[in-house]
Amino acid sequence: METDIIKKAEFNPKIKSYILFVVSFFLLISIAGIPILFFWFLGLGQYISRRFYENLECQLTKRHLEFKKGVLFKVEKTIPLENIQDLTFIENPLLKYLDLRILKIETAGQSNPKGSDMKLIGIIDSANFKEEVLKQREALQSNSNKSTQYISSNEKTNILLEEIRDLLSDIKNKSL
C-alpha cells in the first residue's frame, strides 16, 4: 500500500512552541491550573510538546487523507477524499508569530458539531499540500464520473437492444 501514498505532510517544529504557549494560556486562565504552570514550564510542557510533534503524521493517498496524532491517547483518522467538502486556512496572532497555519478539513455528513473533522496544525508548505489534496479529490471525482458515464452508456445500449428484440419479436409474430 506504500505505493498509494501521493504526498506525506511534514510538520514545522515550531508546533512544539505553539502547544507550550496554548496550554500555558489555558492553565493561566483557569484558577486550578496556575499551580500546574510551574511543572509545565519546568519540563512537562517541553516533554509533551516534543512527544506530540514526534507522533504527528499525515499522508495523502489515492483515495484517503490519513492523520495520526497524540501523546497519551492516540488518534488515527482516515477521511475519504470524496467526502471532503472544504479546506480552510486559519490564522491567529500566535500562529502568525510562529509562522504556522491551521488547515481545517470539513467533510460531508460530518457528525462533529464544531463543524470540522480534522485540523492540521503547522504543515510545512500547507498551501501546496492543500492544492495536492484538492487535485487528488478532483481526479478521483473525474474517474468516478467516467465510470458512471460508462455504466450509463451500457445501460442505454441494453435498453436499445431490448427495444430491438421487442420489435423483432413483434415482426416475427405478425409474419406468422
pLDDT score at 1: 45
- Our measurement of the distance from residue 91's CA atom to the centroid of its chain's CA atoms, rounded to an integer in Å, reads 18
Q: Output the pLDDT for position 149.
A: 58
What 3-state class would DSSP assign to 110? coil
CA neighbor of 82 nearest in space, from 65, 58, 66, 103: 65
The helix-helix angle for 45-55 and 15-29 (nearest 10°) equals: 130
pLDDT at residue 100, as a whole number: 92
Residue 123 and residue 90: Cα distance in Å, rounded?
Answer: 12
The per-residue pLDDT string of the chain (176 residues; one tens digit each, 9 = 90 and over) reads 445 888 999 999 999 999 999 999 999 999 888 899 989 999 999 999 999 999 999 999 988 999 999 898 999 988 888 888 888 999 889 899 999 999 999 887 655 555 457 888 999 998 999 999 989 888 888 876 665 556 667 777 888 888 888 888 888 887 76
**Which domains can be identified in the chain, with CATH numbers?**
2-170 (2.30.29.30)
Q: What are phi and psi of 12, to 5 degrees?
A: -75, 130
pTM of the predicted model as reported, rounded to 2 decimal places: 0.71
User: How many whole angstroms separate alpha carbon 116 and alpha carbon 107?
Assistant: 7
